[in-house]
A and B are shown apart, each in its own frame.
Chain A
Amino acid sequence: MEPLFEFAIKDEKVYSGALSCRGCGWSLLVRHLSSILGEDTVYVVPASCFSIIAGPFPLNELKGSIVHTVFAAAPATATGVRAALDRKGKKDATVAVLAGDGGTFDIGFQSMSGAASRGENILYVVNNNGAYMNTGIQTSTATPYGAVTTTNPGEGYKKTWPKDLMGIIAAHNIPYAATISLAHMGDAREKMKRAKETEGFRLLMIDGPCPPGHKTDPSQSISIGRLAVETKLYPLFEVEHQKYKINYFPEKFVPIDECLKPQGRFKHIFKEGNEQLIKDIQEHTDANWKRLLALEKISYEE
């Protein structure tokens, strides 16, 4: 285990009474993020769980500005906000998109790619909980292989691998991209600070716990997140202009079963006769880790 960093929130920027579910990753994420970004921040929010959590008209959960925008184009709206703030001389203010995986991997993908390619000075934060949770757990292209959703039910569980968003965004040659786990808050806060200080398009992807969607107990949100890192299902790494750096190396091998078993959405894969399925997911996970090691190695070769 990594040593515990100082991660108590000293300057709370979130009001009480958030509308998130118990054990939701958004709340913890946004409390930490807003305490680091400060009040001179404009949050641009497409349709997502956070558009509910942030509060209905005329409420504002955050000490900061929020713009709720259309599902497919939060990075575009952020582009306009950024340009207008810059013209007012507010170059130091942060413009941050807070989106879910549906708004990022799917419907907002082109808009995000456009903003990244233009080098917009925007911080993009994606809370990846692996499905359209706000609308009731429908499959997105971030949904893990083997997971059950309301649109991939029962034996129709998802049989394709999730999109490699980090690889895709890294290929845009942006100055900073990193994965974040709420079980590694010290690492997460360092990355949030780094992302705030970097100029240009930055992306942080959070492994978002979702008890109703993952069919877990709210008390397990952090422990399952930790297992995702230990099993290498969700490695912690950062990419700076296509140079990869792994931030955490699990000390021992932990099979993926340990992370998937407590999640009801994977219940069926532990049925007798589905051993090959578990094996496939393990192999895919190992291959991803191996690829990550190789990317890190070539990133810093002379």
Chain B
Amino acid sequence: MTNGTITEEKNIANNSGKTVYPRHTEKIMKGNFAAAEAAKLCRSGFIPAYPITPQTTIVEELSAKVARGEMDAAYVNMDSEHSVFAAAMGAALAGERVFTATSGQGLFYAHEVLHAIAHFRLPIVICNVGRPSIPWNIWSDQSDSISQRDTGWVQIYGESSQEVLDSVIQSFIIAEELDLPVMVVLDAFYQSHTSENIWIPEQQLVDEFLPAKKSKGDEIDLESPKSIGGLVPPEHYEKFNYTYWQNINQVEELTNKVGKDFGKHFGREYKAVESFNINKNTKLVLVTMSSITTTARGVIKNHPDVGLLKLRLFKPFPKQSVLEALKELPDDAIIAPIERNFLGDNYGATIQELMRAFYNERNFKMYDFYTGLGGKDVPPLTIEKIIYKAKNNPKDVNWIDLEY
């Protein structure tokens, strides 16, 4: 996260040298509460909900905000995640700004409806608190969201809970501009249940950035009745996919643009990817998502030849941004993605996506590193081990905690 400038007032460094954001309030808050706060600040009008650990405090907090009258929204306790997403679909079809949150099995259960929402082109934004599936586990893991990568949802991963809050606001802009749903992913417990200092923007500041949802004329409208979602014959079907493809191709650029605009407006600038210490002298680049990035960021300070690439936008995969970030990196450098996801496949998802991005473009040596699955802590020592192993006779795929 880099600090840009705010348009009217400069960010003020106080006596301790700490950045202060004008028109914000600083609060100590858990990630789930930051997510709920973001949904409120975005003036979400419909929130269907179903509880699942570790998402629960998001929907509890939203129900409380509505009950206390702090939030003008319809909050509905649904009977399942499948119904949550089907209800989200109904309200979005009728033009409402919709937010919900889920996790793990809930996201898996909603899989069918995730496809429907995406291909009905509904700009719904959700938070997913990442946890895996069977064997039963409730802790941090990205297998749930990553296994939904082919549903057509945009996926953004937040390194901090500040990023989660800020990304939800940016996601509504991206979603409503391109008619695509966006999933903002945060780490179970490391973010969802961990308190951080978070800068909460004033409502007015958010309203200036994210105006009320505009009607596009294709919503359910009693004055202009239409049939939505009927069987699409083969002569039309491909056209829908073609326009989808055109819009999904705009996501990366728009994410960078919205991230920059956000920086000007709020003082915190974002990009599809972020790079640290990647230059012509870099010998190894770690690739991370979410909170592991923070740990890796600290560790590489002791390794002048190691760089770090953080993927914030994961789906659609930000190929151009990645290539740009690695532009100066020599061809004999090593790329070592850290995979907090296991898809039942030989390679993890990050290296798969990177390989696709590099094909016909760059030819790095690439070694995959599984770690942190099912919430296992990834302390600095694990990152150190990855760095050592990547440089010393690595295997194609490495289970750093089990085979080291």
In the assembled complex, A87 has its CB within 8 A of some CB on chain B:
yes
Supposing A67-B90, A79-B90, A90-B222 touch, asked if A73 and B228 sit within 8 A by C-beta, the answer is no
In the assembled complex, B402 has its CB within 8 A of some CB on chain A:
no
CB of A113 within 8 A of CB of B79, answer yes
A57 to chain B, nearest CB (A): 4
CB of A80 within 8 A of CB of B48, answer yes
In the assembled complex, A56 has its CB within 8 A of some CB on chain B:
yes
A223 to chain B, nearest CB (A): 33
Chain A residue total in the interface (Cβ 8 A): 49
Residue of A with least CB distance to B224: A65
B214 to chain A, nearest CB (A): 14
Interface residues of A in 73-104 (CB under 8 A from B): 73-88, 90, 93
B218 to chain A, nearest CB (A): 11
The complex places the Cα of A22 from the Cα of B76 at a distance, in Å, of 41
B384 to chain A, nearest CB (A): 48
In the assembled complex, A106 has its CB within 8 A of some CB on chain B:
no
In the complex, chain A residues whose CB is within 8 Å of the CB of B232: 56-57
Residue of A with least CB distance to B73: A87
CB of A84 within 8 A of CB of B46, answer yes
CB of A54 within 8 A of CB of B225, answer no
CB of A56 within 8 A of CB of B231, answer yes
The complex places the Cα of A86 from the Cα of B44 at a distance, in Å, of 15
CB of B48 within 8 A of CB of A68, answer no
In the assembled complex, B217 has its CB within 8 A of some CB on chain A:
no
Selecting from B3-11, B93-101, B178-186, B288-296, the interface stretch reads: B93-101
Interface residues of A in 39-77 (CB under 8 A from B): 39-40, 42, 44, 51-52, 54-70, 72-77
CB of B229 within 8 A of CB of A68, answer yes
In the complex, chain A residues whose CB is within 8 Å of the CB of B84: 76
CB of A77 within 8 A of CB of B89, answer yes
Contact of A76 among B79, B92, B229, B236 (CB under 8 A): B79
In the assembled complex, A167 has its CB within 8 A of some CB on chain B:
no
In the assembled complex, A153 has its CB within 8 A of some CB on chain B:
no
In the complex, chain A residues whose CB is within 8 Å of the CB of B236: 57
CB of A73 within 8 A of CB of B82, answer yes
In the assembled complex, A111 has its CB within 8 A of some CB on chain B:
yes
In the assembled complex, B18 has its CB within 8 A of some CB on chain A:
no
The complex places the Cα of A55 from the Cα of B228 at a distance, in Å, of 11
Interface residues of B in 224-259 (CB under 8 A from A): 225-233, 236
In the complex, chain A residues whose CB is within 8 Å of the CB of B85: 73
CB of A83 within 8 A of CB of B230, answer no
CB of B76 within 8 A of CB of A83, answer yes
Contact of B90 among A57, A84, A110 (CB under 8 A): A84
Residue of B with least CB distance to A74: B86
Contact of A73 among B45, B95, B113 (CB under 8 A): B113
CB of B228 within 8 A of CB of A66, answer yes
Most buried by B among A40, A66, A77, A113: A77
Interface residues of B in 112-171 (CB under 8 A from A): 112-113, 116
Supposing A80-B48, A84-B95 touch, asked if A68 and B222 sit within 8 A by C-beta, the answer is no
In the complex, chain B residues whose CB is within 8 Å of the CB of A63: 225
The complex places the Cα of A67 from the Cα of B222 at a distance, in Å, of 12
In the assembled complex, B74 has its CB within 8 A of some CB on chain A:
yes
CB of B79 within 8 A of CB of A80, answer no
Supposing A65-B221, A69-B229 touch, asked if A81 and B91 sit within 8 A by C-beta, the answer is yes
A283 to chain B, nearest CB (A): 36
The complex places the Cα of A118 from the Cα of B78 at a distance, in Å, of 8
CB of A59 within 8 A of CB of B227, answer yes
Supposing A69-B86, A111-B79 touch, asked if A80 and B46 sit within 8 A by C-beta, the answer is yes
Most buried by A among B77, B78, B94, B116: B94
CB of A76 within 8 A of CB of B233, answer no
In the assembled complex, A114 has its CB within 8 A of some CB on chain B:
yes
In the complex, chain A residues whose CB is within 8 Å of the CB of B76: 79, 83, 118
Contact of A52 among B87, B88, B229, B231 (CB under 8 A): B231
CB of B220 within 8 A of CB of A42, answer yes
Contact of B220 among A60, A65, A75, A87 (CB under 8 A): A65
A206 to chain B, nearest CB (A): 22
The complex places the Cα of A74 from the Cα of B90 at a distance, in Å, of 9
Most buried by A among B78, B82, B227: B227
CB of B96 within 8 A of CB of A87, answer yes
In the complex, chain B residues whose CB is within 8 Å of the CB of A52: 231
CB of B230 within 8 A of CB of A118, answer no
CB of A76 within 8 A of CB of B90, answer yes
The complex places the Cα of A173 from the Cα of B48 at a distance, in Å, of 23
In the assembled complex, B53 has its CB within 8 A of some CB on chain A:
no
Contact of B228 among A40, A68, A84 (CB under 8 A): A68
In the complex, chain A residues whose CB is within 8 Å of the CB of B227: 54-55, 57-62, 65-66, 68
Contact of A80 among B80, B82, B86, B230 (CB under 8 A): B86
Having A69-B229, A84-B46, A118-B77, one finds 12 other A-B pairs with CB under 8 Å, namely A56-B232, A76-B86, A80-B89, A80-B98, A81-B94, A83-B46, A83-B90, A84-B92, A86-B74, A93-B222, A111-B80, A114-B83
Which residues of B approach A to under 8 Å, CB–CB? 45-46, 48, 74, 76-80, 82-96, 98, 112-113, 116, 220-222, 225-233, 236
**Can you report 13 residue pairs joining A to B where beta carbons are below 8 Å apart?**
A39-B222, A44-B90, A52-B231, A66-B226, A67-B229, A70-B86, A79-B48, A80-B91, A83-B46, A83-B91, A111-B83, A117-B79, A118-B76
